[in-house]
A and B are shown apart, each in its own frame.
Chain A
Amino acid sequence: MASVLEIKDLHVEIDGKEILKGVDLTIKQGEIHAVMGPNGTGKSTLAQAIMGHPRYDVTQGEVLLDGENVLEMEVDERAQAGLFLGMQYPSEISGVTNSDFLRSAINAQREEGDEINLMQFIKKLDKNMNYLEMDLDMSTRYLNEGFSGGEKKRNEILQLMMLEPKFGILDEIDSGLDIDALKVVSKGINELRGEEFGALIITHYQRLLNYVAPDFVHVMMQGRVVKSGGQELSQRLEAEGYDWIKEELGIDDETIAADVE
């Protein structure tokens, strides 16, 4: 049975300031959802709050994965339940190689005594790195340390492909990428696309959606989802911008506050 991720009336604060003001979204495995919107409307906050970023306080609402409230779980438990967050700014961890990290992450999802076989792991890693056109020596480099912006994003997609979560939440995975890197990142997401994978892609550019066709498109403003539709919605946004939505809904300033991203 396909898994379902339900976000219900989600309210989130940072340092006492409300950013999300009641977000509702339902994503099923097999579906790709895009969340679009101008800067400062709460898109990244949505992604980070679902995963449990320490700076974000959920004040109301719930996030259910197959009926289980993930907001009551620790961050690692959310990952083990099948969530993955591809980050906009991945951390650099010195002294821990990319491949050791990936192996720890894979084994964390498996039972003790059922750790992934080393050869099997290396085979899968090599295959995915080739697919993402990554230098094989990146597996022995320290996690994200000294990686370029594009390398970091590819590395996020590599982790996504290695961990094969139920749902991938990708937070501006396309920002700062040149067209070749964008194609590679898209290729990775499309490779996972299928009955056993659902995605929530957060972006403020239509560009990525030319390569990863979404099933559903949502527009966020003022900390809420204000409009939903199919791929035609993102195409209209690309052509006409956001002003027509603001007009339609009578929104003056779409941001939560000028100082919040």
Chain B
Amino acid sequence: MATEVNEFVINADEVISRAESRGESELLISKKKEALATIENLEMPKPDKTKINKWDFFTVSEPVTDSAVYGSLEELPEAVRNLLDIEHTKNIYVQHNNTPAYLQVSDELLDQGVVIENIIEASANHPELVEKYFMTEGVKIDEHKLAAYHAAMLNGGLFVYVPKNVQIKDPVQMVVLHDDEKTSLFNHVLIVADEGSELTYVENYLSNVDRSNEQINIISEVIAKDNAKINYGAVDFLAEGFTGYINRRGIVGRDATLDWALGLMNDSNVINDNTTYLMGDNSNSNLKTVVVGRGEQKLNFTTQIIHYGKDSVGHILKHGVMKDSASSIFNGIGYIKHGAAGSDAQQESRVLMLSEKARGDANPILLIDEDDVTAGHAASVGRVDPIQLFYLMSRGISQKEAERLVIHGFLDPVVSALPIESVKKQLKEVIELKVLSK
């Protein structure tokens, strides 16, 4: 049956009646209908250099699962509490499988008109805001079949709106705890930072089960309006067995900045698409990702920054470690459109292989339709340098510890860019676990 797994089956009536019976908003139901109306005719996305025709993106055991909610931060499972600095955590949303399980937002932010709500409720409480931005400027519903499928199956996620000139000092954190092997995650995160506002947002995905044969189909749309500043951090660490499609999309206005620091540590086969549109003049994006692949994982990381605004600056830094039989494609694209004079597109991809069977392929691409620009790229795929190991070991450090130091050092430029200390610590632990596991 392997040739048929990608065959698409969806029962539109069931999708809609389930949404209605769960009391989803008119807006969300209309978006789901829109997706269902077009989905049959849409193509699958085509991640460069990774064949996905045998990947199973559509088998779902339970479209929505129901899990426990939590009354306070203290009630959260230890795995989640470890990600938090509980005393200082002001703004947090916890999603337990598909269930909105805990929400805490400081009064100060609510008084300033900040909205932090799970996306399903937000679509009922703030329909005009959600309608304006939901799959309109970022990822379109009809962009491809997986985007439409995401919209139709949407069962979680978060909406964050920061009004004009409101600067949020304390980070907003979303934690998704996955501990039900029947759960599929169709999370949609929509972040809008209005003009002159500032936000630091960090999301964590973690599994408390060893394996799950379900779907991850996650879309984030992150919109920084003129002169806004968003710092977006993520650590994805979901179990093996999922089929994953994760799309994080940025739209950056004039004089605005969107910085990404992503720890992509999922243990499943995943297509990661991270595209940022620098729409406004003098817009800016700094993207840092770190990846560790192990086991039989197949991974594709396509990272793009597309420049429309004049004097826009886009820098990509990707570091990956591949071990066992993991194989990964790193596509990095800097695209300067005609008219984006004075722009700067830079990228660097580094892949470190820890075993003979591991595969890594770094493809830097620069597409330039404008004369007056600066652009550059660097890419390398290599092994741990035996001379570096010799140097460290000549000081009495064991080979294992020396390798650990070199790998941590290799990944550090991204890890240190994560905006929350506890999350940084978690990412280091995840790296340790993935790199040192046999």
Q: Is B8 an interface residue (CB 8 A)?
A: no
Q: Is B355 an interface residue (CB 8 A)?
A: no
With both beta carbons as reference points, the residue of chain B lying nearest to A94 in the complex is identified as: B409
Q: Is A79 an interface residue (CB 8 A)?
A: yes
Q: Is B396 an interface residue (CB 8 A)?
A: yes
Q: Is B398 an interface residue (CB 8 A)?
A: yes
Contact A54 B395 (CB under 8 A): no
Which residues of B lie under 8 Å from residue A261 when comparing CB positions?
A: none
Contact A104 B405 (CB under 8 A): yes
With both beta carbons as reference points, the residue of chain B lying nearest to A144 in the complex is identified as: B391
* Of B186-194, B195-203, B300-308, B382-390, the one touching chain A: B382-390
Contact A53 B390 (CB under 8 A): yes
Q: Is B408 an interface residue (CB 8 A)?
A: yes
* Of B32-40, B152-160, B207-215, B410-418, the one touching chain A: B410-418
Number of A-B contacts (CB under 8 A): 79
Per-residue contact bits, chain B 305-338, to A (CB 8 Å; 1 contact, 0 not): 0000000000000000000000000000000000
Which residues of B lie under 8 Å from residue A159 when comparing CB positions?
A: 395
B395 → A minimal CB distance (Å) = 4
Q: Is A75 an interface residue (CB 8 A)?
A: yes
Which residues of B lie under 8 Å from residue A78 when comparing CB positions?
A: 394
Interface residues of chain B: helix, strand, loop or mixed (majority): helix
Q: Is A85 an interface residue (CB 8 A)?
A: yes
With both beta carbons as reference points, the residue of chain A lying nearest to B409 in the complex is identified as: A95
> In the complex, which of the residues A52, A84, A108, A109 contacts B390, with contact meaning CB atoms closer than 8 Å?
A52
Q: Is A241 an interface residue (CB 8 A)?
A: no
> In the complex, which of the residues B395, B401, B411 contacts A95, with contact meaning CB atoms closer than 8 Å?
B411
Q: How large is the interface on B (under 10, 10 to 19, 20 to 34, 35 or more residues)?
A: 20 to 34
Per-residue contact bits, chain B 174-188, to A (CB 8 Å; 1 contact, 0 not): 000000000000000
- CA–CA, A76 to B391, complex, Å? 10
Q: Is A142 an interface residue (CB 8 A)?
A: yes
- CA–CA, A199 to B413, complex, Å? 38
A63 → B minimal CB distance (Å) = 14
B403 → A minimal CB distance (Å) = 12
Which residues of B lie under 8 Å from residue A232 when comparing CB positions?
A: none
Q: Is B165 an interface residue (CB 8 A)?
A: no
Q: Is B406 an interface residue (CB 8 A)?
A: yes
Contact B409 A163 (CB under 8 A): no
Contact B401 A108 (CB under 8 A): yes
B415 → A minimal CB distance (Å) = 8
Which residues of A lie under 8 Å from residue B392 when comparing CB positions?
A: 91, 93, 101
Interface centre among B388, B393, B410 (most CB of A within 10 A): B393
A236 → B minimal CB distance (Å) = 34
Contact B409 A91 (CB under 8 A): no
Per-residue contact bits, chain A 186-210, to B (CB 8 Å; 1 contact, 0 not): 0000000000000000000000000
- CA–CA, A159 to B392, complex, Å? 11
> In the complex, which of the residues B386, B401, B405, B411 contacts A93, with contact meaning CB atoms closer than 8 Å?
B405
> In the complex, which of the residues B388, B391, B395, B401 contacts A163, with contact meaning CB atoms closer than 8 Å?
B395
> In the complex, which of the residues A51, A76, A87, A91 contacts B397, with contact meaning CB atoms closer than 8 Å?
A76
Q: Is A90 an interface residue (CB 8 A)?
A: yes
- CA–CA, A105 to B396, complex, Å? 6
A240 → B minimal CB distance (Å) = 36
With both beta carbons as reference points, the residue of chain B lying nearest to A109 in the complex is identified as: B396
Which residues of A lie under 8 Å from residue B385 when comparing CB positions?
A: 91
Which residues of A lie under 8 Å from residue B406 when comparing CB positions?
A: 93, 96
Which residues of B lie under 8 Å from residue A99 when comparing CB positions?
A: none
> In the complex, which of the residues B399, B411, B412 contacts A76, with contact meaning CB atoms closer than 8 Å?
B399
Interface centre among B397, B402, B412 (most CB of A within 10 A): B397
Contact B401 A90 (CB under 8 A): no
B38 → A minimal CB distance (Å) = 47
Which residues of B lie under 8 Å from residue A74 when comparing CB positions?
A: 393, 399
A158 → B minimal CB distance (Å) = 12
Q: What are 9 A-B interface contacts by the 8 Å CB criterion?
A: A51-B394, A52-B390, A54-B387, A54-B390, A76-B396, A87-B391, A90-B391, A91-B385, A93-B405
Binding site for A on B (CB under 8 A): 385-399, 401-402, 405-406, 408-413
Binding site for B on A (CB under 8 A): 51-54, 74-76, 78-80, 84-85, 87, 90-91, 93-96, 101, 104-105, 108-109, 142, 159, 163
The 9 closest A-B pairs by CB, nearest first: A95-B409, A95-B412, A79-B396, A91-B391, A75-B393, A105-B395, A108-B396, A76-B393, A96-B409
